Structure 1
Amino acid sequence: MKTSQGGVVLGLVLLVLGALCVDIAPAAVTGDCVNCHTIHNSQDGQDVARDKDGDPLGTAQVTLLNSDCLGCHSNMEGSSTIVESGAIRIPIVLTGSEPTDPPEPGGSSSNVLAGGNFFWVADGDDDKGHNVYGLRANPADSTLSFAPGGGVGGAGCDDCHGTLATSTSGCRGCHYPAHHQDDGNSTDAVDSGDGWYRFLSGAAMTAARNPDLSRDSLMSLEGVTGLEDPNWEQSPGASHNTYKGTTVQYMSATGNGNVPYNSIGAFCSGCHSNFHHEKNDSDGGMMDASGAWIRHPSDVVLPETGEYANYIYTALAPVAYEDVTAAGQGIVTCISCHRPHGSSQPNMLRWNYDTCVNGSTDSECGCFACHTAKDGIAD
C-alpha cells in the first residue's frame, strides 16, 4: 500500500482528526481511507506517522492514523487556514506564517478561523494562546503553572482542570475526536448523535486518563451543542458558528453530566471556574445573578433593553443561544470575548483592548458591540 509522505504538512490542534477526509459539503467523513489511515505505519522502512513539521512521530498512532492532531491540522508552509486537496478541505489553526487577525471582512485565505490560531503561542508568546502539548519543545507557560481562574489544583486534578501542556492532556484536554460522524451543517444542530459540536466533550480528558474505558461509556458523556459554519468563519458574515448557551445557575441545580446543559460556557468553566462562577459580591458569587459584578458575567442573557438592545450579531463579539436553531435572545459566554485556540491579542482576546476608549469610533472594539452607548458612533 503506497502512502504519500509529501505535500503540505497539515494540522489543527483541537479539531477533528477525521477532517482530512471531509468532503467540500459538510457531511459524514468520505474519501480514501489512506487520506487519514495507515495499515502498518511502515513504508519503505520508514514510519508513516508524521508530526506537524513532517518529522517521524516515532510511534504508531491510535486508530491507525497517519498523524496526531497537530500533524493533521497545521499548515507550517504558509498562512492559509483552510487547505484544499481535491475535494478535501482541512481547517487549520496552526500556521507557519502569521495569519490575519482580526479576520478581514469579506474573507481572506489567511483569516483565523472561529477558534483562532496557535501561531502566536507556538512562537513563544504565552499570553496569546492555550499552551497545548506538541506546539513547541517546552509547552508549559513561562509564568502560569495552572489555568487562570482555576478552582482546583494538585496531583490528579491538573491534567483535567489545570493544564493542556502535558502528554496526557494536550488536544484531548478539550476534544474527543475518535469517531467519524457528521459534523453538522449550517441548519442542523450538532449534539450527542454527531459526537458533539467540534468534538467538545467530557470524554476528552476521561479518555486520556482512563484508556481502559469502553468507547460506549466515553461517548455517553455530555458535550457542547452547536451549529457549524461550512467555512469555519474564514469569511465572517451571515454564516457563522453558533454555540449553545444557558442561563441556568447550574452550580445549585442538577447539571447535565460533565457539561451542564451542553453549553460552551460550562465547558470552559471546567478549567476556569472562578472566572465563570464567581461573578458578583453576593453570597460568594457562585453563579448568583444578583449583587454588584466583580467579574464580567458569563452564561447570562444579554438584555434587550437600553444600550444592549442595539446589539447586532457579530463574529467580533458573538453571543450564544439556548436554542441554536432558533437563535432568539443572546447569551454572553467566554468566547464572546476570547478565541479559545489563540489570537494576536493578549489574553486571547478577539480585539485590541487598548483601543477601547469611551467615545471612540473604533468599530473593531468588541466591547462596543454590546455596550453600544459607550462608543462615539451614532445609533
Structure 2
Amino acid sequence: LIKSGDNIIPIVKSAKEPVVPLAGGNFYYISGQTHLEKAGYCTSCHRDVRHHATKAGYRFLGEDIEGIGDPMYEYGEGHNIYKSGDQYCIACHANFCGPENQRSGTGWIRHPTNAQLPMYGEYAGYEAYRKDVPVCYPDLQKPERSTARVMCMSCHRPHGTPYHFLLRWDYNTVIAGGGNNSTGCFACHTTKDTGE
C-alpha cells in the first residue's frame, strides 16, 4: 500500500507476486492476452465509475452487488462483507450458473452458488469467517454464521490468481481423503479430506 496524505492507495500494478491478495485487486496475474481486452478491462465490472459519484454502489460495481468494503482492501485483519455477488457474475457467466448446470443424472457438474452453508455435517467445521474462502450474508448488518451463503467469490477471485479459472487455490492439489488439509474445498467440506 502507498500512503499519500490521508489516502491509502492499493498497489495494483506490481512486478512481483502479491504477498496478500488484496480485495481491491492486483494485476500481477493479468496475462495481457486479449480475453481481458474483449471483456472491456476493469469497466466491464466496475461500470459505474464517476468522479465524485453520489449514487450508492459498492466499489463502483453498480447496484447488482451489495457489500461493505474493508477500508484497507483486506490488507490487514479486516475483510469485506458481501451480501451477494452471484447475480453480478451471472450477467456474463450465465452458462455456469443455475440448477441445470449444477447436477446431472450422472453426478456433479458445477458447485451451487447462493446456497446456504449448513451448520451441520461436513460443513460444521466452517465456524468463523475466512478471508481465503469468503461467504456472503443476506443481512449485511448481521453477518452471522447461521445465515452464511456460498457465492462465486467463495472459490474465485475476480482480480486474478495464479491458478486456473481464477480459483483461490490450486484445484489439482485438492485431493479428497488425503490427510489433514483445511484449505481450498476443505474449508467448507471439512470431512472430505479426512475420509470421515
State TM-score, norm by structure 2. Answer: 0.85
User: Matched residues in 1 for 2:115 and 2:70: separation?
Assistant: 24
Q: Which residue of 2 aligns with 1:316?
A: 132
Task: Give the Å deviation of 1:97.
Answer: 2.0
In structure 2, the residue matched to 1:271 is 92
| 1:95-127 C-alpha deviation (Å, 9 max, x unpaired) | 122222xxxxxxxxxx22025422122xx3xxx
Structure 1: runs of 5 or more not aligned:
1-81, 101-110, 125-135, 142-163, 182-192, 202-221, 246-263, 283-290
Count residues in correspondence: 189
Q: What is the Cα deviation at residue 180 of structure 1?
A: 2.4
Asked if residue 90 in structure 1 is aligned to residue 39 in structure 2, the reply is: no
After TM superposition, give the deviation of residue 375 of structure 1 in Å: 2.6
Identity score, percent: 42
Amino acid across the alignment from 1:303: P
Question: Counterpart of 1:84 in 2: which secondary structure?
Answer: strand
Instruction: Output one character per residue of 1:326-364: Cα deviation in whole Å (capped at 9) or x when no partner.
Output: 01311111100011010122221111222222232234x
* 8 Å Cα contact 2:8-2:72 kept in structure 1: no
Among candidates 180, 190, 195, match of residue 361 of structure 1: 180
CA distance in 1, matches of 2:163, 2:25: 11
Per the alignment, residue 41 of structure 2 pairs with 170
Counterpart contact for 2:83–2:138, Cα < 8 Å? yes
- 1:327 matches 2:143: yes
Asked if the contact 1:299/1:332 (under 8 Å) is kept, the reply is yes
Residue in 2 aligned with 1:187? none
Cα displacement string for residues 64-108 of structure 1 (whole angstroms, at most 9, x for unaligned residues): xxxxxxxxxxxxxxxxxx2112222112333122222xxxxxxxx
SS at match of 2:2: strand
With over 3 angstroms needed to count, the CA separation of the structure-2 counterparts of 1:171 and 1:304, relative to structure 1, is: same
State the partner residue of 1:114: 23
1:234 aligns with 2:57: no
Quote how far apart the aligned CAs of 1:368 are.
Answer: 0.8
* Runs of at least 5 residues in structure 2 that lack an aligned partner in the other structure: none
Separation in 2, partners of 1:294, 1:326: 32
Partners of 2:24 and 2:192 lie apart in 1 by 27
**Partner SS, residue 95 of structure 2:** helix
Contact 2:58–2:68 at 8 Å: present in 1 too? yes
Equivalent in 94, 100, 103 of residue 280 of structure 1: 103
What is the CA deviation profile of residues 114-145 of structure 1, one whole-angstrom value per residue up to 9, with x for unaligned ones?
A: 25422122xx3xxxxxxxxxxx4xx413xxxx
**Bigger radius of gyration, 1 or 2?**
1
Q: Give the Cα separation in 2 of the matches to 1:351 and 1:92.
A: 22
1:33-182 correspondence runs (5 A): 82-100=1-19, 111-114=20-23, 116-121=25-30, 124=31, 136=32, 139-141=33-35, 164-166=36-38, 169-175=40-46, 176-180=48-52
**1:250-289 deviations in whole A, cap 9, x for unaligned?**
xxxxxxxxxxxxxx1100011111112232348xxxxxxx
Runs of 4+ with >4 A deviation: none
Q: Return the letter of the residue paired with 2:64.
A: G
| CA 1:199–1:305: 2 relative to 1, 3 Å | same
CA RMSD of aligned residues (A): 2.5
When normalised by structure 1's length, the TM-score is: 0.46
CA deviations on 1:182-216 (whole Å, 9 max, x unpaired) are: xxxxxxxxxxx753111112xxxxxxxxxxxxxxx
